[in-house]
Structure 1
């Protein structure tokens, strides 16, 4: 069939010229299968410095700024926090009050959203509170959630894709006193590594957002950066290394695996550790999702982390980059390794009971709409009562991949198309790949913070979709309280 199609289009090429030539070339070419020379040491984002103020709060300073970076193509214009590209890793402990002072030195408004963090709506960093060019914003809250790999990035109205693509992103690691944290590799930058994966497209020495022919999800680049490093390797000196994987791309979906097919341990997802390690040979991450994996190494070996095909084998998957493969990162084990053992159990996750749900809601993602509506910052799509549990049925209603993200809360997956979720979806989540035509039943508790005048967001985290209106919003109110925004 493929030979017939290519042959027929080839005949059209002779008749119709260059326009058809591009179609023929795209359909005939194989998916990307990128291999690189691992010739640059992996950059590890520094831990952000902080001070403790008179109120006992840990204070961080962030500055959004423009600069130039070497991303493998010379001097490329980029944006970053406290530097030219990406940002430092913020780190705080459960129970600790924190303050982040944000200054915007960019030529346009921005925000900083604390992706995965449980915090008041007024400091969540959504599009309702833009920081103007030259302006500043202070976010203050108390960290109150299990240890997890979170991240921060812009969330302004209609320009999130561009700002993240230029480099505005960073990790936020939450720690706690669970014994499992000490049992796992936990020496930051040594055996506990942030791995922020992004794909980029270049025009000459500058970033391009031209996208891919036929793609409906935004930019799909042919070069991979890890922490801003092209072709990265890292030297490992322990038998076990923990990789905190973050899909920080704007559109691409990854299926991470090791080059020789060996299994690894999935130990955590978006909102924290699993009950026990899950041995697998791949983990798929849509935009914004995180996974903590532990890889076992032998002395002297070199192991490649790759991304293989992440979607199906049809033409639509090809258009969305789902059949592409990439080298991501090379792990280089030293000749002598420090012994390490993977614990058999990690944490005891409390399970939310759907029988206790105060509300059940359904949301269908289709086109650029949720339930046939585009985003309206003056409209509330759900009013949630504080300290109640809700069940949401979230469905992808068409054939374009989406990535569901909800602000403020972590949720648990109850079912996927009516079936029990796989082990990789057994932990706390805040972002979820929505496969074509499937329905995901999730449950969450909306605790602690009520604000009838300020909304949280839920949306597709494919950033082009988000910018084009695939968002909704909810407010959390006290029992009997009414929202101060219009309610649909």
Structure 2
């Protein structure tokens, strides 16, 4: 660690801590994978689909035989899966029964800024918030989680997260596994540490945040799923604070990547490994044989860039974990073959970019600035194209997430990206020393008061200021005076 880095961390009153993590999940005995329930909704006479969610304190058996104090949404840990269709108007009444203020952010959703659930939409203790918007994007696997400035890692770590699935007519026509909980399985992967009494250990984060020695899959450790069909679709979400996952099966079986953050790819990609940084999603279709028993595993991270061996070890890059055992039926029901073509994607016309921006990620800063709730970093024009270059100028891992937009990764260090990054993204891993070029088209929402965020989605980094904000303004609009707090 350089002197300048030490000085920077000392100024934040944070000491760099090296915490060794176990290289395997804690053995607790296999348990059947819980499937998050579908959230109930009611469509009124006005055509609006309405959901109700309550953020609450709970108690959960994450480790077999032990109870852990947790936070959850409509339950003791995690939250239900919301589901809506393109073109629908949705409204979500969110009630906060936690002991402190929080927010609920719709990660990956195109949504008006005041409905985004970022740090400016704080829900007071005992209070309610009712955002409403029209779904204006393709079928995709999105998720929701808290976003209180300075407290996001703690709120997510304690269990506040859930899926938000979008459907549309195009995806409905494709021969893909789509029976929720049967052959279409949402999978949130998290790492946690536990004290001897079963409570969550929130002490001593590393420079990337709270790294756990136990994998928690859909809320339990030691999970298995019994597949009844010859192919299953896994909707993978890295719901961890700071850990990257390099996922593959113990027998190196090939699977097909069919979707990323923003929806289905133009065509499936055959892989044996897929890497996800915090906040990223991937949809894969996995073949299942009769009486199969195969482990989905997290393997050492290969994309290390300019990260030395000691730092890689500290950040968990050498760790291996069991994630989920898949068990095949004796006579699995036959599934259709994944089609060769999925959803066409029109390239963003980068040559028509209204603005080109550059972002350097280093320590807890973007372009050498930390987050200020009352500072607008720039403004964007609705329905405009921009090209952003994001460089990891650090010897830490970072990633980059933008609110209210899906982007295309057009270059990595001047070269074409790999095929697994061919789809729409809202979060991208940035390996140390590398530059990523992102092309995007902003939507129609405008607001002179409420901004959108851009930030590293390693939650400790976000909490300590690796975040900025921008306004979407129509021609002639001017920013309103900023006087915000995150309390």
Superposition TM-score, scaled by structure 1 size:
0.92
1:220 aligns with 2:215: no
- 2:58 corresponding residue in structure 1: 67
Aligned-partner Cα distance in 1 for 2:395–2:244 = 15
- 1:208 corresponding residue in structure 2: 201
8 A contact 1:379–1:485 mirrored in 2: no
1:406 aligns with 2:398: no
8 A contact 1:36–1:327 mirrored in 2: no
Aligned-partner Cα distance in 1 for 2:173–2:148 = 34
Task: Give 2:327's match in structure 1, choosing from 311, 332, 335.
Answer: 332
1:319 aligns with 2:314: yes
Aligned-partner Cα distance in 1 for 2:263–2:204 = 33
- 1:474 corresponding residue in structure 2: 470
8 A contact 1:180–1:346 mirrored in 2: no
Aligned-partner Cα distance in 1 for 2:28–2:66 = 17
Q: Which moved more, 1:187-196 or 1:375-384?
A: 375-384
1:433 aligns with 2:426: no
8 A contact 2:236–2:281 mirrored in 1: yes
Provide closer, same or farther for how the CA distance between residues 240 and 53 of structure 1 changes in structure 2, counting only shifts above 3 A: same
Aligned-partner Cα distance in 2 for 1:336–1:401 = 44
- 2:153 corresponding residue in structure 1: 161
SS of 2:354's equivalent?
strand
Say which one has the larger Rg: 1
- For residues 67-89 of structure 1, what are the alpha-carbon distances to aligned partners after superposition, in whole Å with 9 as ceiling and x for unaligned? 10001151110000001000000
1:8-157 correspondence runs (5 A): 32-34=23-25, 36=27, 39-72=30-63, 74-157=66-149
- 1:245 corresponding residue in structure 2: 236
SS of 1:480's equivalent?
coil
Aligned-partner Cα distance in 1 for 2:133–2:301 = 37
- For residues 206-240 of structure 1, what are the alpha-carbon distances to aligned partners after superposition, in whole Å with 9 as ceiling and x for unaligned? 0011245xx31111101111110211111111111
Provide closer, same or farther for how the CA distance between residues 163 and 402 of structure 1 changes in structure 2, counting only shifts above 3 A: same
- For residues 428-470 of structure 1, what are the alpha-carbon distances to aligned partners after superposition, in whole Å with 9 as ceiling and x for unaligned? 0000111001110001111110111110000010100101011
Provide closer, same or farther for how the CA distance between residues 179 and 173 of structure 1 changes in structure 2, counting only shifts above 3 A: closer
Provide closer, same or farther for how the CA distance between residues 429 and 445 of structure 1 changes in structure 2, counting only shifts above 3 A: same
- For residues 94-142 of structure 1, what are the alpha-carbon distances to aligned partners after superposition, in whole Å with 9 as ceiling and x for unaligned? 0010000000001100000000000100000011121000100001000
Aligned-partner Cα distance in 2 for 1:436–1:342 = 35
Task: Give 1:384's match in structure 2, choosing from 369, 380, 385.
Answer: 380
Runs of at least 4 residues off by over 3 Å:
33-38, 179-182
Q: How many pairs are equivalent?
A: 460
Q: Give the CA RMSD over aligned residues.
A: 1.7
- For residues 277-307 of structure 1, what are the alpha-carbon distances to aligned partners after superposition, in whole Å with 9 as ceiling and x for unaligned? 1001100000000000000011111111000
Specify which structure has the higher proportion of strand: 1
1:54 CA displacement: 2.8
**Gapped regions of structure 2 (runs ≥ 5):** 1-16, 483-487
Aligned-partner Cα distance in 1 for 2:413–2:402 = 20
Provide closer, same or farther for how the CA distance between residues 391 and 216 of structure 1 changes in structure 2, counting only shifts above 3 A: same
Aligned-partner Cα distance in 2 for 1:85–1:181 = 34
1:305 aligns with 2:301: no
Aligned-partner Cα distance in 2 for 1:242–1:59 = 27
